Structure formats: C-alpha cells, structure tokens
C-alpha cells in the first residue's frame, strides 16, 4: 500500500505538468486558424527560384507583299527579364533576335531608381528615350505593323539610346511629368554618331520633355506632350575616297541639330467597356532643324528645316476587333519640299489577350513626278509568352 502511494505521488506531478501543458480547445482552434490564414495568404512562389526575374517573350512575325514581291518576315523574338535589384533600384533587359543586323541585340538594359525623394526617378543604361508618344514603343506594341515613316526617318526607328534620364512628377492633382536626358545619340537606326566611340559632351544629345494628361469626365481624356532633342555639335570628316581630295576636311561648326516634337492623344474609353471599347486618336508632329551633309562625300551642304508627322485613329469594337487608319506625311530631311505620303488601313483581331492577328494595307507616294506608288499588304501574327509588358509609359 505504501509502495503504491509513493508511486502515485511520484507520477502525480508528471500528470499535472501534462495537464498544464495541454492547450485549451479554444487556443488550439485559434492557433490552427492563424496557421491556416498564413497558408492561405502565402505567396505562390515558394521555391528557390522565387527571386528570379520575371521573364517573358514576344514572338512577332509577318507576311508582307510590297508591289508583288512577298516575304515572310521574322520581325522579332523579344525576350525580357525584369526584377527589383534592391530597395532602391530595379532593372530590366530586352534582348531581341530578328532578321535584322545584328541578329541578336540588346534593345534595352536599364537600371531605374525606385525610391528617390522629391518625386524623382533616374534611369540609365541602354534605354528607350522618352521622346514623343509612339517612338519609344517596341515594334510589336505598335498599333500598326510598320512604324510610321516619319518616326523611322526623323528619330531613326525606336528611340534607343545609351545614356541617363531624370524624370519628375509634379506633386499636384494634374498629371504633369517632366523629363531631362543625356545620351550618346537617340534612335536605333540613327547613323549620325557611333555609340561605341567617345566624344565631347557637346556632341551628346540632350532631351527635354513635358507631358500632361487630363480626364474629361469619366469616359474621355486628352494627353499632350512637348519635347526637344538637341545635339549641339557633330564632327564629320570628309570621305576622301569619294571626293579625291588629298586632305580630308573636318566639319564641326554649325552642325547642331534640334529635333522637336508635339504629340496629342485623345481617348474615348467608356468605363463599361474597359480596355476593349473606345477610340484612340493620336497625332504627332516633328520638326527637324539640322546642318546636313552629302551622303556620299560627307561634305557639309546646308541647314535644312523639315516637318513630318502622323495621325491615326483606332476604334476598339469589343473584345476582338480593332480597325483603324493612319496617315503619315514625311518631308525629306535634305530636300524639304520632297514629301512622302503614306496612307494605311489596318484591322487587328485580338484572339485572346496574349495572341493577335493584324491585316494592314498601305500606299506610299512621293511627290516627285515619275516615282512609282508603293502598295504594301501585310499580315502580322504576334504571341506573348509569360510576363511581357513594357510598363505604364507605353500603355
């Protein structure tokens, strides 16, 4: 009996501890609820690849027939990677493979600050400069198959540039964004400067842009932009192989160039239609003031002022169909009265949000007697894999 009593007394504290440690049903339910809530709110990415950048790819191809000469055109496979770098910086790169030369090229490799004070943002590296409205769109983002001839001719295609940009958002109810930039040059196909060679700061291109936006009621809005890209000097050396002169002349004075632009966008977007219903009317006018050079001899010719621009209207008719027209007028930068007029009609069919077909017809005419009219018909097919967006600016 005494042995049993001692045994019971020894075990009693153990049972008591076990009783004390056991949580109540209410506590257990609460703990379970907390765990469940954490699981339900947990991010989808839980693997080691969670910190990898977002990756996307756009594939863009077309079949083009120009004056009865047809061509399957591998326009681009555009790979983008994008991620925050640290609390202060994010970065992205856009690598493009195409049938152009070079076949693989870095279109963008950009760093951008994310937490500067005073509403400032700095971006640098290889970037698409903030000039104009449509010039900084990637090819597959354009509302038409081919970039308007005015942008190809005056900007040099996309506004690709190696340099630095600072932008400032005005802290007000009205959206006003101001941008200043300095670049080696601006324009992917702009051959005025070799981006790989060093030069004096006065041979850089400097940009200033101001843009604003205003809602007019719930369904209408207007957007206005004004910009100028100024290159103070160029150094151009005469091509003696063509001229035959024993000593090459070098031209530096009066070589400045100013490319100015004004862009206007009107949007009708009924709130019940989302992004799939409405009208966009976009217009952009460019003015080029430049000391020109002979294309063969590289000798200075004269200062020429010329204008170019386009205007387009696109109607969004629902989930799938987007017809539109675009008119482009481009004066020759050497001979301003030589005007190329291009009239195009296009019809876009969005199969889904990530797949698109587009049919376009255009006629181009130069106002020089005897110049044949160019008729082009094109069919474009574009698909997007993964996360492939070019941000708020290119909306």
Partner 1 sequence: METIMKTKISIILTLLTAAADAQAALRVVATTPELVDIASRVGGSLVEVQGLAKGTEDIHQVVPRPSFVTKLNRADAVVYLGLTIEHAFLPPLLDVARNPKMRTDAVKECVGPGCIDCSEGVSVLEKPENLSRAEGELHPQGNPHYNAGPDDGPIIARNIAAGLSRVDPAHKADFEKNLKAYLAELDAKLALWRRWVKPLKGMKAVSYHKDVAYLGRFTGLEFVDTLELKPGVAPTPTHLEQLVKEMKEQGVRLIVREQQYDSKMCQWLAEQTGAKIAVIGSMANALPGTETFVKYSEKNLKDLLEAAGKDPS
* Interface with partner 1 (CB under 8 A): 37, 40-41, 43-45, 54, 114-116, 119-121, 169, 171-175, 177, 213-215, 218, 221, 223, 269, 271-272, 274-276, 319-320, 352-354, 389, 391-393, 395
Closest to 62 in 3D by CA, of 343, 385, 377: 377
Contact 318, 274 (CB under 8 A): no
DSSP 130: -
CB of 199 to partner 1, least distance (A): 32
**Among residues 167 and 333, whose Cβ is nearest to partner 1?**
167
**Among residues 37 and 301, whose Cβ is nearest to partner 1?**
37
CB of 262 to partner 1, least distance (A): 18
Mapped onto helix, strand or coil, the DSSP state of residue 65 is strand
Alpha helices in the chain, H assignment, sequence order: 2-21, 25-41, 149-154, 240-243
Closest to 92 in 3D by CA, of 133, 137, 123: 123
**Among residues 87 and 102, whose Cβ is nearest to partner 1?**
87
CB of 313 to partner 1, least distance (A): 18
CB of 182 to partner 1, least distance (A): 21
Neighbour count for residue 70 (Cβ, 10 Å) = 11
**Among residues 8 and 216, whose Cβ is nearest to partner 1?**
216
Neighbour count for residue 351 (Cβ, 10 Å) = 13
Residues 388 and 82: their CA atoms lie apart, in Å, by: 9
**Among residues 202 and 215, whose Cβ is nearest to partner 1?**
215
CB of 40 to partner 1, least distance (A): 5
Closest to 131 in 3D by CA, of 231, 221, 206: 206
Which two structure tokens, joined as six digits, stand for 302? 């004269």
**Among residues 104 and 347, whose Cβ is nearest to partner 1?**
347
CB of 217 to partner 1, least distance (A): 11
Contact 184, 161 (CB under 8 A): yes
Mapped onto helix, strand or coil, the DSSP state of residue 85 is strand
**Among residues 223 and 332, whose Cβ is nearest to partner 1?**
223
Which two structure tokens, joined as six digits, stand for 79? 């790979």
CB of 385 to partner 1, least distance (A): 8
Q: Is the dihedral of CA 68, 154, 237, 244 positive or negative?
A: positive
**Among residues 2 and 38, whose Cβ is nearest to partner 1?**
38
CB of 166 to partner 1, least distance (A): 12
Residues 144 and 380: their CA atoms lie apart, in Å, by: 9
């Amino acid at each position: 009996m005494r042995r049993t009593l001692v045994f019971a007394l020894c075990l009693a504290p153990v049972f008591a501890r076990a009783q004390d440690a056991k949580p109540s049903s209410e506590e257990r339910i609460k703990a379970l609820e907390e765990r469940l809530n954490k699981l339900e709110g947990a991010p989808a990415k839980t693997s080691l690849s969670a910190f990898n950048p977002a990756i996307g790819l756009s594939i863009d191809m077309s079949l083009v027939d120009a004056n009865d000469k047809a061509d399957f055109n591998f326009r681009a496979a555009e790979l983008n990677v994008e991620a925050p770098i640290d609390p202060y910086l994010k970065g992205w790169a856009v690598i493009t493979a195409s049938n152009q030369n070079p076949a693989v090229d870095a279109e963008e490799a950009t760093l951008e600050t994310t937490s500067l004070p005073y509403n400032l943002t700095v971006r640098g590296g290889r970037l698409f400069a903030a000039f104009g409205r449509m010039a900084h769109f990637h090819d597959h983002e354009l509302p038409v198959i081919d970039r308007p001839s005015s942008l190809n001719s005056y900007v040099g295609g996309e506004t690709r540039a190696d340099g630095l940009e600072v932008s400032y958002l005005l802290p007000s109810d009205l959206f006003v964004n101001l941008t200043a930039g300095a670049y080696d040059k601006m324009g992917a196909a702009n051959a005025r400067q070799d981006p790989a060679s060093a030069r004096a700061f006065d041979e850089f291109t400097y940009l200033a842009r101001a843009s604003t936006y205003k809602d007019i009621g719930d369904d209408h809005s207007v957007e206005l932009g004004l910009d100028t890209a100024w290159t103070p000097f160029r150094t151009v050396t005469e091509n003696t192989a063509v001229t035959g002169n024993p000593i090459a002349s070098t031209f530096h004075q009066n070589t400045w160039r100013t490319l100015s632009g004004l862009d206007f966008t009107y949007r009708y977007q009924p709130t019940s239609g989302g992004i799939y219903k409405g009208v966009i009317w976009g217009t952009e006018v460019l003015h080029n003031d430049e000391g020109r050079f002979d294309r063969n001899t590289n000798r200075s010719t004269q200062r020429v002022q010329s204008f170019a621009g386009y205007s387009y209207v696109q109607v969004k008719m629902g989930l799938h169909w987007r017809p539109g027209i675009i008119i482009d007028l481009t004066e020759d930068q050497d001979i301003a009265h030589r005007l190329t007029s291009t009239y195009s009609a296009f019809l876009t069919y969005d199969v889904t949000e990530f797949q698109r077909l587009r049919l376009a017809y255009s006629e181009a005419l130069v106002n020089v007697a005897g110049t044949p009219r160019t008729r082009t018909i094109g069919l474009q097919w574009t698909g997007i894999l993964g996360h492939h967006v070019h941000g708020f600016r290119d909306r």
